[in-house]
Amino acid sequence: MTREVGARIRALREARGLSLSALAAEAGIGKGSLSELETGRRNPTLDTLYAVATPLGVPLAALLDDHDGAVIGGGGVVATRVRVLRETDRTTEVYLLRLAPGAVRTSPAHAAGVEEQLIVVAGHGLVRYDDRTVALAPGDHVRFAADRPHAYEAGPDGELEAVNVIVTPSSGQLDR
Amino acid sequence: MTREVGARIRALREARGLSLSALAAEAGIGKGSLSELETGRRNPTLDTLYAVATPLGVPLAALLDDHDGAVIGGGGVVATRVRVLRETDRTTEVYLLRLAPGAVRTSPAHAAGVEEQLIVVAGHGLVRYDDRTVALAPGDHVRFAADRPHAYEAGPDGELEAVNVIVTPSSGQLDR
DNA sequence: GTGCGGCGTTCTGTTTACAGAACACTGTAG
DNA sequence: CTACAGTGTTCTGTAAACAGAACGCCGCAC
């Protein structure tokens, strides 16, 4: 996570032809801090992130990569965010999940009212929610409330690939 | 800044009917940390922000409020982000600036290629860039390269209100 | 060759974010 | 009334983010 953010900052900085020292000076932070930040060895503070984003001329979200195409994965699981649609009453996120054979993706409980759906594109596996375990095969569709812990698990003999849609209700005052 | 983020977290938490203790437990952080974070007395770490965003079921950007309608101001200056349009080759941001009488908004140099425009809606003031000082009156329009430090200044006898458009070229690898 | 200015990294002491405990407060049960 | 389980706050020691200095490296001038 910090590694990705750091790499993104370095890419943005180099794209602008700025030296590390120059960006640190513009941002008003120590260049040692920026060096360790870019190499992912620091867990930056909100202040620091903001200080860096400003002279780079990008919104903070660009550093966090919280947009379409974000890749969240790790540990045999790759989740590519295909689409985020923020509407007044709900946010819908679409991911393409790919799990290596045997890999498990566990999710903590989301907020109340969050619903997940899954359509298997390829491979076999399991999804666990509540006390149920449901087998997954290509073409299968699952829908469940995601306000409890749940997990996806790829079968042992092949990659599991699936489309995952998460709908989060906005509970009123999310947007103003 | 930390104050705004904290307030937003508290609003999201209460909207979901979660107690502070419960959210802290779900996020895996100390409840003292969350308390001080929500009251704006802490400058949270990237890890902490991410830990809090996850059980709330929102993307990180929702906590940072890096979207349309964001209010950036402070110190006699209020900047309301009216619109952000992110395209493949450039990002365009539109702000409505309001400066209290005598207030000054200084900007550090943005990245190379960034261009700003200003249309004065009401009031009088000055804009400084390069070595030039240009007077502003209602209806006036200014356009300049923002890759050098620049400043807006409201006149002494009334609020200055203006539309500010900032165009940042994407320099290739910003989006992937 | 010797300087010297720039680069990014690593090192130093100070500040502070962190987890968790102790705390004060409120409502409910008995 | 006391006991208690819940709330959010403030306190305490530890880990780490911070600014800035010191360092090693490279390229260029001379």
- Asked whether residue B148 falls in the same domain as residue B81, the answer is yes
As a whole number of angstroms, the distance between CA B104 and CA B97 comes to 11
**Beta strands across the sheet bearing B115-122:** B77-86, B90-99, B160-169, B115-122, B141-145
Write out which nucleotides of chain C lie closer than 7 A to a protein Cβ.
Answer: 6-12, 16-22
Mean pLDDT of B124-149: 82
Contact present, B58 and A91 (Cβ < 8 Å): yes
Residue A58: band (very low, low, confident or very high) from pLDDT cuts 50, 70, 90: confident
Residue B141 lies in a domain: yes
Burial class (CB in 10 A: 0-12, 13-18, 19+), A53: buried
Residue B132 lies in a domain: yes
Secondary element (H or E) of residue A145: strand A141-145
Task: Retrieve residue A1's tokens.
Answer: 């996570």
As a whole number of angstroms, the distance between CA B15 and CA B143 comes to 43
Phi, psi of B150 (to 5 degrees): -150, 165
Residue A63 lies in a domain: no
Q: Exposed e or buried b for every residue in A121-133, given b needs 16+ CB within 10 A?
A: eebbbebbbeeee
**How far does the CA of A34 sit from the C1' of D15, in Å?**
20
User: Contacts of residue B69 in chain A, CB cutoff 8 Å?
Assistant: 175-176
- Asked whether residue A96 falls in the same domain as residue A137, the answer is yes
Q: Is the CB of B38 under 7 A from strand D?
A: yes
Q: How far off is chain B from A101, nearest CA to CA, in Å?
A: 26
Residue A80 lies in a domain: yes
- Asked whether residue B53 falls in the same domain as residue B78, the answer is no
Predicted local confidence at residue A74, as pLDDT: 46
As a whole number of angstroms, the distance between CA B67 and CA B62 comes to 8
Q: Which of A1, A45, A167 to probe by mutation at the B interface, max B CB count within 10 Å?
A: A45
- Percent of chain A surpassing pLDDT 70: 70
Across all strands, nucleotide nearest A27 (CA–C1'): D19
What's the CATH code of the domain at A47? 1.10.260.40
Nearest CB among B1, B17, B62 relative to A174 is that of B62
Number of domains forming the structure of chain B: 2
As a whole number of angstroms, the distance between CA B156 and CA B172 comes to 43
Secondary element (H or E) of residue A143: strand A141-145
Residue A129 lies in a domain: yes
- Asked whether residue B149 falls in the same domain as residue B80, the answer is yes
Greatest Cα pair distance, chain A, in angstroms, is 56
- Asked whether residue B26 falls in the same domain as residue B112, the answer is no
- Structure confidence by residue, pLDDT tens digits, B98-123: 777 777 777 666 666 777 878 776 77
Predicted local confidence at residue B77, as pLDDT: 64
- Asked whether residue A42 falls in the same domain as residue A78, the answer is no
Could you give the angle at the alpha carbon of B3 between the alpha carbons of A51 and A52, nearest 5°? 10
Q: What is the DSSP letter of A98?
A: E
Residue A10 lies in a domain: yes
What's the CATH code of the domain at A137? 2.60.120.10
Contact present, A153 and A127 (Cβ < 8 Å): yes
Write out which nucleotides of chain D lie closer than 7 A to a protein Cβ.
Answer: 6-12, 16-22
Does the structure show a pLDDT above 60 at B139? yes
Burial class (CB in 10 A: 0-12, 13-18, 19+), A141: exposed
User: Contacts of residue A150 in chain B, CB cutoff 8 Å?
Assistant: none
Residue A123 lies in a domain: yes
**How far does the CA of A5 sit from the C1' of D24, in Å?**
27
- Percent of chain B surpassing pLDDT 70: 70
B64 contacts: CB under 8 Å, gap ≥ 6: A60, A61, A64, B5, B49
As a whole number of angstroms, the distance between CA B38 and CA B4 comes to 9
Helices first, then strands: H and E counts in chain B: 5, 9
Across all strands, nucleotide nearest B27 (CA–C1'): C19
Q: How far off is chain B from A87, nearest CA to CA, in Å?
A: 12
Residue A109: band (very low, low, confident or very high) from pLDDT cuts 50, 70, 90: low
Domain around A24: 2-58
Residue A144 lies in a domain: yes
Q: Is the CB of B39 under 7 A from strand D?
A: yes
- Asked whether residue B77 falls in the same domain as residue B161, the answer is yes
- Asked whether residue A36 falls in the same domain as residue A80, the answer is no
Q: Which amino acid is at A25?
A: A
A11 contacts: CB under 8 Å, gap ≥ 6: B173
As a whole number of angstroms, the distance between CA A58 and CA A40 comes to 19
- Asked whether residue B24 falls in the same domain as residue B52, the answer is yes
Q: Is the CB of A28 under 7 A from strand D?
A: yes
Residue that terminates a domain, selected from A13, A32, A58: A58
Yes or no, beta carbons of A17 and B69 under 8 Å apart: no
Helix, strand, or coil (residue A81): strand
- Asked whether residue B111 falls in the same domain as residue B39, the answer is no
- Asked whether residue A109 falls in the same domain as residue A140, the answer is yes
Contact present, B114 and A57 (Cβ < 8 Å): yes
Q: 């290739």: which residue's tokens? A: B172
Does the structure show a pLDDT above 50 at A73? no
Range in A52-56, A113-117, A166-170, B43-47 the model is least confident about: A166-170
Q: How far off is chain A from B171, nearest CA to CA, in Å?
A: 6
- Asked whether residue B101 falls in the same domain as residue B27, the answer is no
